[in-house]
């Protein structure tokens, strides 16, 4: 509902319900309490404004208007009216006349000021020798005095809410840190049975979304969910480690009765004596009678792998994209079979593969092919065949450090993965996160929201 108040000499002032309510509020002014000054009113108003949704530009405007007011204007029988012209306000506020008019209208709608118009619409006033206003027409600040108690209560409640929200944000950060710590533990221990990455990404997404939320109920619900996720992840990790400590260590996947004996691969050892390869490499490589089932290193490359602790399980953690076996402990036979398939898929010439087997042994050759294919997939190697040929050359001269290569690949993958988890620099898409969240929700938490 809109009405108009006649302002002689200046047309009509537009009034709406909120401005009219402010007018009625101003009629209740009976002066400030004896122990309250107008400067205290301004201070309390500034503290309460953020919690009442009052824009900063209006706070600055009220502060500027109060500079023309005196303490004597706020006693009973007086009226805190200021009468600066629009031109003066444009100078003080640094805005145009039209913006000043809009600002004053908004201040009236927010219940901060009202207007007392003169006969010609000009703002004018005069003071006596004692400083009291003899007459004044302009901007009435009395609604601020009437709302003093409201401002004080809003500021007090806002501070208390800030403390509660601060505690909730600290709890949310603690839950996120715990989830990340557990994810780091799973990453260090190479445990892939728990999807810690999704938990970390959801925690990062929740923290980002709740950063500027002041709805305590919504924030508390999000905090409880993140704490539940952290607790559930902690229990899952504890269960994995408890099960690992109770499980028997030994496992025999070989046909013989010896531990750590690799099964016989379906691939026959190539007859290197008949292989045609004119590279100038020395003819003497691995010793005659190579047996893939022998757990002891049979070439210098295999000895280097053993020295650095690079076994089938280690290799599977570094190049998991090529390990198709469902067994938690892959064998050398499975890795050799995988390497032979990769030789064809990456267009590595068979003679290069055979030469690698002669110089490094089948285990060393398989490890070399897997590392080459992994680097090719990452974009670090353009020509896998040429790269493996270079590895053969280094193996022939005794300069191939394949064990260090695998540890470097592992450290690189770990640092990149944890950098992504901690900074969110390479998170999955919102659609993937939503799908992951829905997947977790189907396990019993579908009724909860981030």
- The confidence score (pLDDT) of residue 449 equals 32
151 occurs within a structural domain: no
Q: Domain check: are 141 and 172 in the same one?
A: no
262 occurs within a structural domain: no
- The confidence score (pLDDT) of residue 19 equals 73
223 occurs within a structural domain: yes
According to the 3-state scheme, what is the secondary structure of the chain?
CEEEEECCCCCEEEEEHHHHHHHHHHCCCCCCCCCCCHHHHHHHHHHHHHHHCCCHHHHHHHHHHHCCCCHHHHCCCCCCEECCCHHHHHHHHCCCHHHHHHHHHHHHHCCCCEEECCCCCCCEEEECCCCCEEEEEEEECHHHHHCHHHHHHHHHHHHHHHHHHHHHHHHHHHHHHHHHHHHHHHHHCCCCCCCHHHHHHHHHHHHHHCCCCCCHHHHHHHHHHHHHHHHHHHHHHHHHHHHHHHCCCCCCCCCCCCCCCCCCCCCCCCCHHHCCCCCCCCCCCCCCCCCCCCCCCCCHHHHHHHHCCCCHHHHHHHCHHHCCCCCCCCCHHHHHHHHHHHHHHCCCCHHHHHHHHHHHHHHHHHHHHHHHHHHHHHCCCCCHHHHHHHHHHHHHHCCCCHHHHHHHHHHHHHHHHHHHHHHCCCCCCHHHHHHHHHHHHHHHHCCCCC
Q: Which residue has the tokens 């003169």?
A: 118
User: Quick check: 175 and 227 in contact, CB under 8 A?
Assistant: yes
Q: Domain check: are 198 and 304 in the same one?
A: no
Number of separate domains in the chain: 3
Q: Among the three residues 146, 176, 192, which one is the final residue of a domain in this structure?
A: 146
How many angstroms separate the CA atoms of 148 and 26, rounded?
12
Q: Domain check: are 395 and 341 in the same one?
A: yes
Q: Domain check: are 101 and 187 in the same one?
A: no
Q: Domain check: are 93 and 180 in the same one?
A: no
352 occurs within a structural domain: yes
Q: Domain check: are 12 and 142 in the same one?
A: yes
96 occurs within a structural domain: yes
Q: Domain check: are 62 and 122 in the same one?
A: yes
Helix 332-345 with 350-378: angle, nearest 10 deg: 90
- The confidence score (pLDDT) of residue 356 equals 92
432 occurs within a structural domain: no
75 occurs within a structural domain: yes
Tell me the Cα Rg of the chain. 39
Q: Domain check: are 291 and 346 in the same one?
A: yes
Q: Domain check: are 39 and 96 in the same one?
A: yes
Q: Residue 213 is part of which domain span?
A: 161-247+441-445
> With the C-alpha atoms ordered 304, 306, 309, 313, is the resulting torsion angle positive or negative?
positive
Q: Domain check: are 84 and 23 in the same one?
A: yes
288 occurs within a structural domain: yes
Q: How many CA atoms lie within 13 A of 118 on its CB side?
A: 15
Q: Domain check: are 20 and 93 in the same one?
A: yes
Profile the chain (450 residues) by mean pLDDT over runs of 10 residues: 45 66 85 90 93 92 93 90 92 92 91 88 89 91 92 93 91 88 81 79 83 86 90 87 54 38 41 37 48 84 90 86 70 87 86 91 91 86 90 91 88 64 45 42 37
CATH number at residue 132: 1.10.10
Q: Domain check: are 295 and 167 in the same one?
A: no
How many angstroms separate the CA atoms of 51 and 214, rounded?
10
Q: Among the three residues 146, 181, 212, which one is the final residue of a domain in this structure?
A: 146
Q: Among the three residues 111, 146, 181, which one is the final residue of a domain in this structure?
A: 146
């Amino acid at each position: 509902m809109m009405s108009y108040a006649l302002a002689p000499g200046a047309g009509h002032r537009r009034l709406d319900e909120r401005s009219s309510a402010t007018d009625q509020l101003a009629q209740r002014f009976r002066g400030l309490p004896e122990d309250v000054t107008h400067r205290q009113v301004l201070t309390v108003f500034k503290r309460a404004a953020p919690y009442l949704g009052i824009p900063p530009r209006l706070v600055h405007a009220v502060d500027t208007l109060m500079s023309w007011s005196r303490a004597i204007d706020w006693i009973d029988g007086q009226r805190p009216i200021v009468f600066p012209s629009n031109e003066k306000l444009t100078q003080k506020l640094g805005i145009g006349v039209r913006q000043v008019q809009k600002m004053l209208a908004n201040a009236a709608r927010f219940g901060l000021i009202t207007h007392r118009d003169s006969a010609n619409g000009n703002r004018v006033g005069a003071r006596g020798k004692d400083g009291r206003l003899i007459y004044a027409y302009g901007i009435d600040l009395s609604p601020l005095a009437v709302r003093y108690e409201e401002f004080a209560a809003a500021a007090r409640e806002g501070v208390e809410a800030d403390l509660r929200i601060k505690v909730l944000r600290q709890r949310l950060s603690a839950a996120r840190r715990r989830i990340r710590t557990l994810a780091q533990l799973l990453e260090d221990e190479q445990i892939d049975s728990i999807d810690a990455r999704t938990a970390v990404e959801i925690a990062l997404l929740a923290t980002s979304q709740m950063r500027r939320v002041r709805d305590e109920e919504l924030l508390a619900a999000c905090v409880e969910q993140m704490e539940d996720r952290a607790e559930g992840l902690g229990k899952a990790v504890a269960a994995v480690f408890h099960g690992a400590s109770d499980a028997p260590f030994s496992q025999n996947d070989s046909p013989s009765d010896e531990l750590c004996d690799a099964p016989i691969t379906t691939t026959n050892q190539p007859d290197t004596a008949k292989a045609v390869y004119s590279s100038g490499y020395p003819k003497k490589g691995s010793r005659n009678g190579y047996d893939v089932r022998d757990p002891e290193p049979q070439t210098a490359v295999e000895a280097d792998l053993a020295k650095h602790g690079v076994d089938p399980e280690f290799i599977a953690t570094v190049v998991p994209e090529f390990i198709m076996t469902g067994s938690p402990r892959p064998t050398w036979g499975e890795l050799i079979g995988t390497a032979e398939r990769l030789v064809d898929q990456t267009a590595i010439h068979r003679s290069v593969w055979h030469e690698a087997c002669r110089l490094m042994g089948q285990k060393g050759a398989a490890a070399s092919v897997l590392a080459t294919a992994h680097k090719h997939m990452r974009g670090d190697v353009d020509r896998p065949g040429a790269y493996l040929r270079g590895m053969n050359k280094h193996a022939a001269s005794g300069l191939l450090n394949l064990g260090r290569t695998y540890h470097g690949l592992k450290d690189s993958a770990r640092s990149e993965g944890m950098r992504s988890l901690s900074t969110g620099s390479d998170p999955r898409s919102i659609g993937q996160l939503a799908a992951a969240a829905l997947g977790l929700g189907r396990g019993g938490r579908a009724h909860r929201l981030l």
